[in-house]
């Protein structure tokens, strides 16, 4: 066992409504709209040594609205437009009723990322626009940030327990968590 492995904190970031504009069941690259501040937010995280890992529920696959290949094309386009700055994409294709462990607020995607990367969970964050993103962070015992973009304004009032940060958008959340 290598005890000298350097760990890095991760920013687990929700895709729709957080990194990119919310489009109900985004299925085509042509409909992908990246927020103006996304590239700067990711650059700030990378400059501070964070892994940037996208964790996204994609039940449109399970509903047969779009294919896994369609989703991968969107991720490839997003990665290209962000200059390859995202370390990994993890997704859950299942329906909410399927009872899988990968769908947020379950920890399957975070556990998969921890198996693939040396992650310092103590200093890691999850950032998203939905209650389930915040709940995922609570379940993983990491810090939580909710953005008011996407569904954030609606979901902020539904939280039983407040996140560590509530911010207007991803860039503001990143600036606050970096201090």
Residues with a known catalytic role: 14, 16
Separation of alpha carbons 92 and 103, rounded Å = 5
Q: What's the alpha-carbon Rg for the chain, to the nearest Å?
A: 15
**Quick count: other Cβ atoms within 10 Å of Cβ 68?**
11
Question: What is the DSSP secondary structure assignment for residue 6, as one 8-state letter?
Answer: P
State the helix-helix crossing angle for 170-178 and 38-47, rounded to 10 degrees.
Answer: 20
CB 41 within 8 A of CB 178: no
Tokens 């929700």 — which residue? Answer: 14
State both tokens at 44.
């700030």
**H helices within the chain, ranges in order?**
38-47, 59-62, 68-81, 108-116, 131-140, 152-156, 170-178
């Amino acid at each position: 066992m290598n005890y000298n492995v350097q760990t890095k904190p991760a920013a687990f970031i929700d895709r729709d409504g957080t990194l990119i504009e919310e489009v109900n069941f985004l299925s085509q690259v042509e409909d992908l709209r990246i927020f103006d501040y996304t590239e700067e937010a990711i650059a700030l995280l990378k400059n501070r040594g964070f892994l940037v890992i996208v964790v996204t529920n994609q039940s449109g696959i399970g509903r047969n609205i779009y294919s896994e290949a369609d989703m991968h094309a969107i991720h490839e386009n997003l990665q290209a437009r962000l200059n390859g700055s995202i370390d990994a994409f993890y997704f859950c294709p299942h329906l909410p009723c399927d009872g899988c462990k990968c769908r947020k607020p379950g920890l399957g995607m975070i556990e998969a990322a921890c198996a693939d990367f040396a992650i310092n969970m103590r200093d890691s964050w999850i950032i998203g626009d939905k209650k389930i993103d915040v709940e995922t962070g609570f379940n993983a015992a990491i810090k939580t940030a909710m953005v008011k973009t996407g569904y954030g304004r609606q979901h902020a009032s539904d939280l039983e327990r407040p996140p560590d940060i509530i911010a207007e958008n991803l860039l503001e959340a990143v600036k606050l968590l970096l201090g």
